[in-house]
């Protein structure tokens, strides 16, 4: 059995399959961190954050959850990122846009509920408003007719802290939270602290940062100088912690999830083999010399 969906439902499916001594392939939610170091290619990181955060209106399990920026580049990067989001084309999915509609009214309602988690110490940016895009609540430069779909304003919530509800909540919509860090170890701690472990990314030009990040982060998928949604089809796809039970999809690894191993031995010795404990005793020959 395989399930892709929320952690809450995944727990119930895992419990039920456990009653039958089976292991479900669970690919669950995520709060995927993207870490940007001061030595990063900033333009590349901006492209990655824009695509991962707002592509498909953030409705992917691997969408960017929180953008963690080193304190030395926090203000400048946030300003550039905000400008990109504010000027991005949103609307008719048949046109050249960053993202189109929400999946349904239900998903919009879920997104609106997450907007209620915004606190006074947060700064909100990204569009001319928040919530549903409509004639009475327009977005500047909207492409098409907002009444022909369920469209939502892109939202950037900066000033996020570990104590905030948005820090540990998978939003699954056009909402990206942004926070800052001082050291790579702090960024790793922030990336792990909510318990999810699906996808993550780091932008850096220093290999030492790469290996330290990979060693410390708990996510099942790690991207280097690529977005959190930049999964490769030939690599194992799946998460750890609240994001999954260690099962993997994609590549050859998915075969283990939906097949069962069966071992067989065929003995031709014509004598009882005692649990594979019969051995041949080899005596050491100190006079042996391996000639070239």
Q: Which two tokens stand for residue 194?
A: 């909510």
Output Rg (C-alpha) for the chain, integer angstroms: 25
Nearest to 249 by CA among 46, 3, 30, 7: 3
Distance CA 276, CA 155 (A): 64
Catalytic site residue from 61, 105, 232, 281: 61
Q: What is the DSSP letter of 117?
A: T
Q: What is the DSSP letter of 209?
A: H
Query: Known catalytic residue: 25?
Result: no
Q: Where are the beta strands (DSSP E) in the chain?
A: 2-4, 25-27, 32-36, 64-70, 123-125, 155-158, 175-181, 196-197, 199-203, 221-224, 240-241
Catalytic site residue from 19, 25, 27, 200: 27
Q: Which of the residues are catalytic?
A: 27, 61
């Amino acid at each position: 059995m395989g399930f892709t969906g929320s952690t809450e439902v995944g727990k119930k499916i895992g419990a039920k399959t456990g009653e039958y001594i089976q292991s479900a392939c669970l690919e669950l939610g995520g709060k995927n961190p993207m870490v940007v170091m001061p030595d990063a290619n900033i333009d590349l990181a901006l492209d990655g954050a824009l695509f991962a955060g707002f592509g498909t209106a953030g409705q992917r399990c691997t969408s960017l959850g929180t953008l963690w920026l080193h304190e030395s580049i926090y203000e400048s990067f946030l300003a550039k990122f905000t400008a990109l989001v504010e000027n991005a084309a949103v609307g008719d999915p048949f046109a050249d846009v960053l993202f189109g509609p929400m999946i349904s009214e239900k998903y919009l309602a879920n997104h609106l509920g997450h907007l209620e988690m915004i606190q006074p110490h947060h700064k909100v940016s990204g569009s001319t408003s928040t919530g549903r895009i409509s004639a009475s609540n327009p977005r500047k430069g909207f492409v098409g007719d907002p009444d022909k779909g369920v469209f939502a304003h892109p939202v950037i919530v900066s000033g996020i802290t570990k104590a905030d509800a948005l820090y540990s909540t998978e939003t699954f919509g056009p909402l990206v939270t942004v926070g800052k860090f001082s050291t790579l170890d702090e960024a790793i701690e922030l990336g792990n602290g909510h318990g999810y472990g699906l996808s993550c990314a780091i932008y850096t030009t220093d290999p030492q940062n790469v290996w330290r990040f990979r060693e410390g982060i708990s996510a099942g998928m790690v991207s280097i100088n690529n977005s959190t949604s930049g999964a490769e089809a030939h690599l194992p796809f799946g998460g750890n912690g609240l994001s999954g039970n260690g099962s993997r999809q994609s590549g050859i690894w998915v075969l283990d999830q939906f097949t069962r191993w069966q071992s067989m031995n065929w003995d031709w010795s014509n004598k009882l083999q005692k649990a594979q404990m019969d051995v041949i005793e080899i005596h050491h020959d100190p006079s042996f010399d391996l000639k070239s």
